[in-house]
């Protein structure tokens, strides 16, 4: 008895089929690599945003401890600094602390409320702005701002 093999099952892939399959694999690999890059970029941005939020919160919580006279003292001997200089990792080795965060703190007597009643003598609007350059791209400057009000007869009279 003679077994007849199917010639189509024995035959290999043609050059055109091989090229098309390699192209499809290349496109899939490029998509996976782009997905990983996008995920790492998003994670890095989230970390930078989280650190900026921590820095803003640090200065905002420090302001809550000041009494009215300390809030109104401005200049070089003031309790509220006008400039913020912080880094991504303050406990890192010198030169390896990561992204520098810079910012400003502005104390304004104009609280934004309507003129009647006038709260300008007993209310201060404090705006803290923070900016940094993204670690991935040197052209992407990021910024965050927080504003808070401090009242003359606020919580500091109950604490002190």
Write out pLDDT tens, residues 87-104: 888 788 888 888 889 999
Task: Report domain extents, the chain.
Answer: 12-159
Strand partners, 130: 103, 144
Contact assessment for residue 140 and residue 134, using Cβ atoms and an 8 Å cutoff: yes
Selection from 108, 105, 97 nearest residue 130 by Cα: 105
What per-residue confidence (pLDDT) applies to 114?
Answer: 60
Mean per-residue pLDDT, 96-121: 78
Between 88 and 112, the more confident residue is 88
Give CA–CA dist 70/126, Å, rounded: 13
Q: Is a pLDDT exceeding 60 seen at residue 156? A: no
**Backbone φ and ψ of 31, nearest 5°:** -65, -40
Continuous segment of H or E residues that includes residue 53: helix 15-64
Write out pLDDT tens, residues 43-79: 988 998 999 999 999 999 988 888 888 888 765 567 8
Burial class, 28, CB count within 10 angstroms (exposed 0-12 / middle 13-18 / buried 19+): exposed
């Amino acid at each position: 008895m003679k077994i007849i093999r199917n010639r189509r099952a024995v035959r290999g892939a043609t050059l055109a089929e091989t090229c098309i399959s390699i192209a499809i694999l290349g496109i899939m690999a490029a998509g996976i690599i782009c997905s990983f890059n996008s995920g790492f970029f998003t994670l890095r941005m989230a970390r930078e945003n989280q650190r900026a939020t921590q820095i803003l919160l640090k200065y905002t919580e420090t302001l809550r401890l000041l009494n009215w006279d300390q809030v109104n003292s401005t200049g070089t001997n003031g309790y509220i600094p006008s400039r913020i200089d912080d880094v991504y990792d303050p406990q890192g080795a010198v030169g390896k602390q990561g992204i520098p965060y810079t910012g400003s703190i502005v104390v304004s007597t104009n609280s934004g409320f309507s003129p009647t009643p006038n709260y300008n003598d007993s209310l201060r609007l404090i705006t803290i702005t923070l900016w940094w350059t993204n670690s991935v791209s040197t052209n992407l400057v990021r910024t965050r701002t927080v504003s808070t009000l401090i009242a003359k007869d606020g919580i500091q009279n109950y604490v002190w």
